[in-house]
Structure 1
C-alpha cells in the first residue's frame, strides 16, 4: 500500500518541475530521498515566487522562470535580497507572516547552499561561485512560547471537545433549518463528519494522516490505528497510534454505514469516503474537503478560527494535562520535544489554577 497524499504531491511535483531551471530540477532530485514531496512542492512554490520577482525587477533577462541562469543568481547584491524580503512582507495579494517569510528565505538558502557547496560542474567546480544567501541570517521565529500565545483561546478546551462533536451530530441541523441544501448534505454526512472530528480530538492525528487511513488500518477492539507518520519516509512501516475510548462509538457507527451510505465499491480501501455530486460511487475524501468541513461546523459553532489543525492542538493540550511531555511527543509523532513544549506553555494557566485549587482544598 502506498501513501495517497504522497502520491498526489509527487504527481504535482513532476508536473511543476519542467517549468523550473535545470539546476532546480537537479536540486529536487538530490533532496527527494530525504524530504517529503509536499515539502519539495512548497520549495518549488517559493522558487516560483522568487524567480518571477527577479524577472519583474529586471534582475533576470529570462522570458520564463525556466530560463533563469546561475550567473544571474551569482551576481545578486545584498540590496536585491533586502528588496525581495520587503516585497514578501508588503505584497498586496496577502502579506506573509514573519514565519512564512522566514520559511521562503530558508528554502532559497537550501537551494543556494546546494549549488555552492554540494553540486559541481564537469571540472569539479561549484555550480555557483558566489552565494549571496549565505549572508542572510534567518532568525528562528516560532518559539514554542510564541506559538502557544497565538493559540490561547483559539482551541477547544475541556467540555468543548465533546460539545463540538455533539454539535456536528445534532446542533448544526437545528441552526440550518431554513437551508434545505445544507440540511440534506448534513443528513448524509453527519455521522462521518462527527467521526472524523472525534478521531482527531481523541488521537491528535494530522489531517494528512487521516486522509491516508485505510479500513485495514483500524483496529477498533484495541483502539488502535496504523498510520504513516509525517517525516517517516519508510513506506513499509506504519506507526501504531492509540485513540481514546470516546472515539470508539463514532467509529463503529460510521463503519456500519460506510459501504451503504456512500455506495463504496469493494475495491475502495479508504477509511473516509465522500460521495461527490453526480458520481455513482464513493471515493477517498480529500484533505481539502476535510479542512472545509471542519471550518463549516466551526463557524456555526461560534468558533470561526477553529481549523482541523487546531483540533489536533486541542487534543494535545488536553492529553498533555494527563501525561508527560515524552508521551505527548510520542502520541503526536513530533520529531523533537521542542515542538511539544507548546502544550506545556498552553497548559500553564490551567496548571496554576489546578495548584491553586489543591492549595484551597488542603486549607
Structure 2
C-alpha cells in the first residue's frame, strides 16, 4: 500500500465510527473494491449531507451517529433539491457542477446499497424507499468539453524540453538578484528539473511521482514501478516506461540525492525535501510538488500551467505518435473514454478520417 493510501486508511478508520451503523456497514462492503482514498471522499460527502440534515431539522439527531434509516426514508424530493442548491451556494465552499455531481453520486451509492443490497434479519431491504433513485445525475464533462477547456493551456511539443531547460538554467538567470531565492533554487534545481522531466516524458500522476522509491527506478530499461490508480491489488506496482530524455535527469538527481538532502538510509523516497528547521531529507509532499511547478510556470510565462497539465501535455504529445489504446495503457486510464480527451485536443481522429477518405477516393 502506498504512503497516501496508508494515511487515508488511517483517517478513514478514525472517521467511520462517527457515522450511523448502516454507513459503517456500507464502507465495509465497499472496502475490498474501492481504495481507502475513494472511501474517505465518500465519508466527507456523507458528513456534509448528514450535517445539513441536522441543520435543516430533517432529523431529530444531535450527532451524525444517531440519524436513523427511517429519517432517510421519509425525505422528500424537495429536500434533495434544496440540498443541491445548498451545495452550489454555500458561501464558504461553493462547489462546481462536477463536484456537486460527485457528491450526489456518493449519496446515490449509499442509498442504492441500503435499498437494493443490504438486508435486515427478515431479508427485507434496510431502506424501504430510496429517494436518491429519483435523482438524475447528468454527466458534466464529456471528453470534448474537457479538451476545449485544456486547449491553449498545455505545453506544445517544442515547449516540453524548453520548460525543463528553463528550470535547469533560465529561472536562475531571472532571479539572479534575489539572494534568498537563488540559494533555494541552486539546492533544488536538479530535483525540480528531474520531477518535471519525468512527468513530461512518462505522463505519471503527481501521486505516482510522490510515492516513488529509489528501488522503483530501472534506469537500464527506462522503467519506473508505480501504484496505479484504480488497481485494487495494493501489493502490485505497475511498470511505466519513460522516454530516453528523462534518463540523464534521473541520473543527475540520483547521484546527488543522498548528499544534497542529507537522506538517512531508512528513507527510501526518491524525491526528497528538507523541511524548515529539520536537518534530514523526507519524502517530498504532493502539495510541495504542485507549488514548485506553479512557481516555475508563472516565471516561464505560462501561469495556467499546473503539475496535472504537465501530464496532459505529455499525453497530447504521446497520442500524436500512438493510438488511443497505447495512450490509455501509458497513462493508466480505466477506459478509453477518458483517453478520448487527447483525440479532441489533437483532432487526430477527424484528420485521420479525412485522409483515409481522400486516399481511398
Return the TM-score normalized by structure 1. 0.93
Aligned to 1:172: 171
Aligned to 1:136: 135
Aligned to 1:83: 82
Residues 1:337 and 2:336 are matched in the alignment: yes
Q: Equivalents in 1 of 2:100, 2:269: separation in Å?
A: 36
The C-alpha deviation readout for 1:215-253, integer Å capped at 9, x for no partner, is 111111111111111111112322111100111111010
On the 8 A contact 2:320/2:348 being kept in 1, the answer is no
Q: Equivalents in 1 of 2:168, 2:18: separation in Å?
A: 46
Q: Equivalents in 2 of 1:350, 1:190: separation in Å?
A: 39
Aligned to 1:60: 59
Aligned to 2:250: 251
Instruction: State the shift of 1:210 in Å.
Output: 0.8
Question: What aligned pairs does 1:117-156 form with structure 2 within 5 A after superposition?
Answer: 117-156=116-155
- Which structure 1 residue ranges, 5 or more long, are not aligned? none
Q: Which moved further from structure 2: 313-322 or 63-72?
A: 63-72
| Cα distance, 1:67–1:173 mapped onto 2, change above 3 Å | farther
Q: Equivalents in 2 of 1:196, 1:110: separation in Å?
A: 37
Aligned to 1:315: 314
Instruction: State the shift of 1:170 in Å.
Output: 1.9
Return the TM-score normalized by structure 2. 0.94
Aligned to 1:93: 92
Q: Equivalents in 2 of 1:132, 1:78: separation in Å?
A: 7
Q: Equivalents in 2 of 1:320, 1:9: separation in Å?
A: 33
Instruction: State the shift of 1:299 in Å.
Output: 2.0
Aligned to 1:324: 323
The C-alpha deviation readout for 1:271-302, integer Å capped at 9, x for no partner, is 11111111121111111221121122222222
Q: What's the secondary structure of 2:92's corresponding residue?
A: coil
Instruction: State the shift of 1:133 in Å.
Output: 0.2
Q: What's the secondary structure of 1:93's corresponding residue?
A: helix
Aligned to 2:186: 187
Instruction: State the shift of 1:155 in Å.
Output: 1.1
Aligned to 1:27: 26
Q: What's the secondary structure of 2:263's corresponding residue?
A: coil
Q: What's the secondary structure of 2:312's corresponding residue?
A: helix
Aligned to 1:292: 291
- Which structure 2 residue ranges, 5 or more long, are not aligned? none
Aligned to 1:204: 203
| Cα distance, 1:121–1:81 mapped onto 2, change above 3 Å | same
| Cα distance, 1:351–1:270 mapped onto 2, change above 3 Å | farther
Instruction: State the shift of 1:269 in Å.
Output: 1.2
Residue-pair matches, total: 355
Aligned to 2:228: 229
